[in-house]
Amino acid sequence: MKIVLTGVTRGLGRALAEAFIAQGHTVFGCGRGGEAIFDLRLSHPPPHEFSVVDVAQDVKVSIWAAGILAAHGAPDLLINNAAIMNTPAPLWEQDDVSFTRLVDINLRGVANVIRHFVPSMVEAKRGVIVNFSSGWGRSVSPDVAPYCMSKWGIEGLTKALAAELPRGMAAVPLNPGVIDTDMLRLAWDEGAASYPKAEEWVKRAAPYILSLGPKDNGRSVSVDGAGS
């Protein structure tokens, strides 16, 4: 299977990349951390490809996608994982620069990746798009309003996309669950350690994501298998 994965340099993205490769799949990943991308290239040479790309920059996403598609064709699975967390504070204390940056990565970044990869998947009439949502995309919590907003947006964007896809494809908003990552520690430092690490989470998450298909189109699902 050919898998495009954003936010591949750490956390859930890095764990997924390692798991998919170990299972024999080909991963085309991107992230903003140059050193981590270099490490991935050394550990996983071609046919895997890893690139430094900020998904918030549409031109850079277009160049990255064009190279992948020209060399490898349409992906079978597209996973939009890249996202950032706001510094916890009431909404009225969130500054415009940080708020805009979060929107650019968490929402516009997903749209950019879809814009440049999904046409090839639609032409082939196959493939699954998984956009990472959150428990905070289906509920709310104080001090993380910008993040909640972005993940509620992912739910709506993905469900609308699902209605636009041809038969045989799927777009799925996925709640990965609560995992001890740098992002969770920023939002909830004291409680993060009580949750599983990404390396444990991926043992359930990778098979579950690979199992998603047309039957799941437009459904809000979770790694634990819960969905609607």
Active-site position among 132, 147, 188, 201: 147
Number of domains, the chain:
1
pLDDT above 70 coverage of the chain, percent = 91
Q: Which residues, including other chains, have CB under 8 Å from residue 200's CB and lie 6 or more apart?
A: none
Q: Give a yes or no: residue 227 inside a domain.
A: no
Q: Which residue would you say has higher pLDDT here, 196 or 110?
A: 110
pLDDT over threshold 60, residue 184? no
Calculate the average pLDDT of the chain.
93
170 in a structural domain: yes
In the predicted structure, residue 115 carries a pLDDT above the cut 60: yes
Mean pLDDT in residue range 24-46: 97
**Catalytic residue check, 147:** yes
pLDDT exceeds cutoff 90 at 210: yes
Say what the pTM is.
0.93
What single-letter DSSP state applies at residue 52?
A: E
The answer to whether position 84 is within a domain reads yes
Is 228 contained in some domain?
Answer: no
Give me the domain span that covers residue 210: 2-222
Q: What was the pLDDT predicted at 196?
A: 75
Tell me the angle at which helices 11-22 and 34-43 cross, rounded to the nearest 10 degrees: 10
pLDDT number for residue 172: 98
